[in-house]
């Protein structure tokens, strides 16, 4: 017994020495950037997108010799899109003094939970995907994003997509009970009032729900012409499938949360005739975007999605700023805040990005549609 | 709309009932709340998915085979996790059950990945989607009827096993008094294993039906279903098999009607509220017997 214990202890010491030896060895030269997204859990496919996007940029930066000779290293933080796990990841990143900036988080609820920690610890954060409008206020100058906000997206859906593109004016809403979906729903409802679109009913659901038939039955009693899938793709796909089973054959539409191949994989035939708005669409992008789509397909083996493109640009923006001001949290924040006009804007694959005083940027929205089992540009 | 909501409620209620029966049987026999039961249900769905997509088995064969696998999983769960703790305080076994639940969830995540998966729809018999009966605006597909029929058949079968067979008799004996049962020559451990197998196969069947009907499998799907079914078992009176069946159906219908007529956001809340109200009014549950706690068990 005693021998066994000594042996175990020796093993533990050895393992610790190995781990520390390795990490300190790597720390000396590299610039570390945290990347927070859900890499496991229901929304793991979003995390895959982020990983594919930043990894491609990382390779390009390091192949070109890094930033001023220093290699860049990414630290992954899995937040499962859950506020509580986002807090843990945030605290971990903030405590690690070698991490100079964070890309993330992905879901708005996760970003809202982690942001106060980053503000307290002075950590510059740039999110490729969090669209909830209130994050800018919580970020107190430390938050930036290169996607549009739901204020814009919801109104765009209500004023353009539904009445003009789909030609419908009676809509039922299904929204998830989280910051992203509630913000989006509110701005859609506000926009719908202005454009004369009638909202026949709005039903909420909890993340992870699988049975939507009671809500669908209730909503469909009012005979809506289109259903708004206001949430993320796993539940959206189930609503689509169950809605079609209950006999709904009109168009479905959603926002950036629906844009994922898994939506089509899960919903199958029911996914047909689903529209969604995205901040980046390879088919509608400029030459830089087209070129990126080709490179992305080569490295990731699949078609590019908007999250990967935005994440790719996030790392690009950070690399440019760090190249100018050096790897220091405060200086990086100031550098990001200085990107505040068209002239100073970052020209990336998703177009020109520059931030207002809340870290928001204005980007156009594009519309995608599921046709023949894949996403195609709607216009 | 009311009828349609009733159909929605009965569909999910029948499935809750099948899982709840597993909780209640195991509780009846060894006074353990098997929190890993929801994970057996999840495994059932994933086994069927694997048999269909990778071995190319037809749906019905995959259904039976996964039920058998879940029965084995239930037995293994008992042998490795609970049997060594049979003589320890109940709390230890309870914590182990929670641990097994987390372990199995993560094991499934490692094996099948954490992304939600669609059930291979092509494997389902084609007539499942067709409408079987229509009455006053509500149409039932053959799939609905299949779920109702399987639920009913399994419930009746289970009652027959418990009431009419030697194993059922042995199970009831062990539930009443383990020591006395052992003295009359019953192999208590084997009876417990069989109970786990029975509970596991029912849970697995429920998992397959949910996976196929709602068309989504993911490693954490057992958690919510498990909690709901546990609530159903408590509602019916934990330890009582007919109670768990009724509890499941009541909970499913309450949930569907609550979501349909009150607020869909509080849909889970409504079903739990129903449970709490019943427990306050009838502390032993609908069919439970109130037993005085005679010895300190924790």
HEC letters along B21-47: HHHHHHHHHHCCCCCCHHHHHHHHHHH
- For residue B3, pLDDT beyond 90: no
Please give the Cα distance from A307 to A284 (Å, whole number): 15
Per-residue pLDDT averaged across A141-158, rounded?
A: 93
Q: Can you give the CATH number for the domain in which B160 is found?
A: 1.10.3470
Choice among A15-29, A94-108, A139-153, B104-118 with the minimum mean pLDDT? A15-29
Per-residue pLDDT averaged across A146-173, rounded?
A: 92
Whether B297 maps to a domain, the answer reads no
pLDDT band at A254 (very low <50, low <70, confident <90, very high): very high
CATH of segment(s) A31-147+287-364: 3.40.50.2300
Pairing state between β A72-78 and A31-37: parallel
Out of B114, B121, B264, closest to residue A41 by CB: B114
**What is the reported pLDDT for A24?**
45
pTM above 0.90, yes or no: no
**What is the reported pLDDT for B25?**
92
Neighbours of B169 (CB within 10 A): 15
- The per-residue DSSP string of A20-75 comes to HHHHHHHHTTPEEEEEEE-SSSTTHHHHHHHHHHHHHHHHHHHHTT-BTTBPEEEE
d(CA B185, nearest CA chain A) in Å: 40
Residue from A85, A217, A263 to probe the interface with B (highest B Cβ count within 10 Å): A217
- For residue B72, pLDDT beyond 90: yes
- Comma-separated ranges of CATH 3.40.50.2300 domains in chain A: 31-147+287-364, 151-278
Residue A359, SS3 per DSSP: coil
Q: Is B105 on the interface with A (CB under 8 A)?
A: no
**What is the reported pLDDT for B282?**
87
**What is the reported pLDDT for A14?**
53
SS3 track for chain B: CHHHHHHHHHHHHHHHHHHHHHHHHHHHHHCCCCCCHHHHHHHHHHHHHHHHHHHCCCHHHHHHHHHHHHHHHHHHHHHHHHHHHCCCCHHHHHHHHHHHHHHHHHHHHHHHCCCCECCCHHHCCHHHHCEEEEECCEEEEHHHHHHHHHHHHHHHHHHHHHHHCHHHHHHHHHHHCHHHHHHCCCCHHHHHHHHHHHHHHHHHHHHHHHHHHHHCECCCHHHHHHHHHHHHHHHHCCCCHHHHHHHHHHHHHHHHHHHHHCCCCCHHHHHHHHHHHHHHHCCCCCCCCCCCCCCCCC
Per-residue pLDDT averaged across A239-266, rounded?
A: 91
Half-sphere exposure for B78 (CA within 13 Å, toward CB): 24
Instruction: Read off the DSSP letter of residue A161.
Output: I
Q: Which of B148, B216, B157 is nearest to B21 (CA)?
A: B157
Per-residue pLDDT averaged across A170-190, rounded?
A: 93
- For residue B192, pLDDT beyond 90: yes
Mean pLDDT of chain B: 89
d(CA B244, nearest CA chain A) in Å: 21
Whether B295 maps to a domain, the answer reads no
- For residue B247, pLDDT beyond 50: yes
Torsion (CA) A261, A267, A271, A276 in degrees, nearest 10: -50
Per-residue pLDDT averaged across B223-242, rounded?
A: 89
- For residue A27, pLDDT beyond 80: no
Whether B75 maps to a domain, the answer reads yes
Q: Do A238 and B255 touch (CB under 8 A)?
A: no
Q: Is B111 on the interface with A (CB under 8 A)?
A: no
**What is the reported pLDDT for A17?**
53
pLDDT band at A112 (very low <50, low <70, confident <90, very high): very high
Q: Is B11 on the interface with A (CB under 8 A)?
A: yes
- For residue A10, pLDDT beyond 90: no
Q: Which residues of B254-291 are buried (b: 16+ CB within 10 A; e: fewer)?
A: bbbbbbbeeebbebbebbbebbeebbeeeebbbbbeee
Mean pLDDT of chain A: 89
**What is the reported pLDDT for B128?**
83
User: How many structural domains is chain B composed of?
Assistant: 1
**What is the reported pLDDT for B298?**
39
Half-sphere exposure for A205 (CA within 13 Å, toward CB): 26
**What is the reported pLDDT for A12?**
57
Residue found under tokens 């299904």: A174
- Structure confidence by residue, pLDDT tens digits, B26-37: 998 888 999 999
**What is the reported pLDDT for A130?**
94
**What is the reported pLDDT for A9?**
61
State the ipTM, two decimals.
0.79
Which structural domain, as residue segments, surrounds residue B96?
2-281
**What is the reported pLDDT for A13?**
55
Q: Which CATH superfamily is domain A151-278 in?
A: Response regulator (3.40.50.2300)
Q: Which residues of A271-302 are buried (b: 16+ CB within 10 A; e: fewer)?
A: bbbbbbbbbbbbebbeeebeebbeebeeebee
Whether B291 maps to a domain, the answer reads no
**Residues in CB range of B68: below 8 A, 6 or more apart:** B201
- Structure confidence by residue, pLDDT tens digits, A200-249: 999 999 888 888 988 898 899 899 999 999 999 999 999 999 999 888 99
- For residue A26, pLDDT beyond 50: no
Show which residues on chain A lie within 8 Å of chain B, measured between beta carbons: 40-42, 44-45, 177, 203-206, 208, 210-211, 213-215, 217-218, 221, 234, 237-238, 241-242, 245, 247, 262, 265-268
Closest residue in chain A to residue B223, using alpha carbons only: A208
CA distances from A224 to A203, A233, B147, B227 (A): 13, 21, 29, 34
Per-residue pLDDT averaged across A342-347, rounded?
A: 91
Closest residue in chain B to residue A265, using alpha carbons only: B118
Closest residue in chain B to residue A175, using alpha carbons only: B265
**What is the reported pLDDT for B134?**
83
Q: Is B115 on the interface with A (CB under 8 A)?
A: yes
Choice among A32-36, B94-98, B285-289 with the minimum mean pLDDT? B285-289
Whether B292 maps to a domain, the answer reads no
d(CA A206, nearest CA chain B) in Å: 7
pLDDT band at B261 (very low <50, low <70, confident <90, very high): confident
Q: Is B31 on the interface with A (CB under 8 A)?
A: no
**What is the reported pLDDT for A25?**
43
**What is the reported pLDDT for A21?**
47
- For residue A2, pLDDT beyond 70: no
Q: Is B116 on the interface with A (CB under 8 A)?
A: yes
Whether B112 maps to a domain, the answer reads yes
Whether B298 maps to a domain, the answer reads no
- For residue A1, pLDDT beyond 50: no
Q: Is B125 on the interface with A (CB under 8 A)?
A: no
Q: Is residue B146 within 8 Å of residue B228, measured between CB atoms? A: no
């Amino acid at each position: 017994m005693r021998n066994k214990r000594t042996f175990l202890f020796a093993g533990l010491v050895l393992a610790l020495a190995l781990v520390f030896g390795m990490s300190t060895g790597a720390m000396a030269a590299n610039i570390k950037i945290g990347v927070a997204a859900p890499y496991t859990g229901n929304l793991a496919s979003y995390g895959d997108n982020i990983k594919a996007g930043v990894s491609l940029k990382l390779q390009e930066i390091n192949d070109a010799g890094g930033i001023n000779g220093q290699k860049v290293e990414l630290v992954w933080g899995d937040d499962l899109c859950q506020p509580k796990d986002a807090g843990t990841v945030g605290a971990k990143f903030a405590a690690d003094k070698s991490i100079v900036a964070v890309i993330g988080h992905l879901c708005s609820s996760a970003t809202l939970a982690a942001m106060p920690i980053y503000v307290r610890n002075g950590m510059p954060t740039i999110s490729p995907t969090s669209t909830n409008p209130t994050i800018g206020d919580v970020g107190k100058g430390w938050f930036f994003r290169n996607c549009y906000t739901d204020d814009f997206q919801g109104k765009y859906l209500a004023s353009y997509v539904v009445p003009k593109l789909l030609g419908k004016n009676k809509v039922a809403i299904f929204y998830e009970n989280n910051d992203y979906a509630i913000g989006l729903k509110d701005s859609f409802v506000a926009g719908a009032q202005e454009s004369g679109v009638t909202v026949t009913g709005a039903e909420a659901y909890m993340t992870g729900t699988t049975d939507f038939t009671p809500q669908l039955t209730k909503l469909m009693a009012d005979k809506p012409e289109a259903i708004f899938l206001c949430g993320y793709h796993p539940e959206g796909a189930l609503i689509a499938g169950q809605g079609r089973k209950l006999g709904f054959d009109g168009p479905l539409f959603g926002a950036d949360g629906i844009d994922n191949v898994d939506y089509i994989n899960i919903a199958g035939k029911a996914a047909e005739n689903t529209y969604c708005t995205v901040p980046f669409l390879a088919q509608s992008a400029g030459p830089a975007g087209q070129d990126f789509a080709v490179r992305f397909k080569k490295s990731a083996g699949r078609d590019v999605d908007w999250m990967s493109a935005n994440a790719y640009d996030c790392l690009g923006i950070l690399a440019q700023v760090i190249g100018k001001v050096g790897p220091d949290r405060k200086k990086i924040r100031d550098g990001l805040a200085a990107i505040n006009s068209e002239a100073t804007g970052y020209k990336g694959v998703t177009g020109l990005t520059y931030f207002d005083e809340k870290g928001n940027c204005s980007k156009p929205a594009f519309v995608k549609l599921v046709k023949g089992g894949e996403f195609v540009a709607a216009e | 709309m009311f009828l349609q909501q009733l159909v929605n409620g009965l569909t999910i209620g029948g499935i809750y009932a099948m899982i709840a029966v597993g909780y209640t049987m195991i509780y009846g026999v060894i006074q353990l709340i098997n929190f890993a039961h929801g994970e057996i249900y999840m495994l059932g769905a994933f086994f069927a998915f694997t048999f269909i997509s990778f071995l190319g088995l037809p749906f019905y064969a995959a259904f039976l085979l996964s039920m058998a696998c879940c029965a084995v999983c239930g037995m293994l769960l008992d042998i490795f996790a609970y049997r060594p703790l049979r003589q320890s305080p109940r709390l230890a076994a309870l914590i182990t059950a929670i641990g097994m639940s987390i372990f199995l969830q993560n094991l499934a995540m490692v094996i099948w990945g954490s992304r939600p998966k669609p059930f291979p729809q092509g494997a389902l018999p084609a007539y499942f989607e067709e409408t079987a009966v229509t009455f006053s605006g509500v149409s039932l597909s053959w799939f609905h009827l299949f779920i109702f029929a399987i639920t009913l058949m399994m419930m009746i079968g289970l009652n027959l096993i418990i009431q009419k067979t030697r194993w059922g008799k042995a199970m009831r004996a062990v539930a009443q008094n383990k020591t006395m049962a052992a003295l009359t020559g019953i192999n208590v451990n084997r009876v417990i294993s069989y109970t786990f197998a029975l509970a596991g196969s029912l849970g697995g069947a429920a998992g397959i039906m949910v996976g196929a009907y709602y068309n989504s499998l993911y490693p954490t799907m057992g958690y919510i279903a498990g909690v709901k079914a546990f609530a159903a078992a408590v509602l019916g009176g934990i330890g009582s098999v007919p109670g768990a069946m009724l509890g499941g159906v009541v909970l499913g219908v309450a949930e569907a009607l609550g979501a349909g007529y009150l607020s869909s956001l509080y849909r889970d809340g409504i079903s739990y509220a129903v449970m709490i109200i019943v427990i306050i009014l009838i502390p032993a549950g609908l069919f439970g017997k109130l037993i005085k706690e005679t010895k300190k068990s924790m």
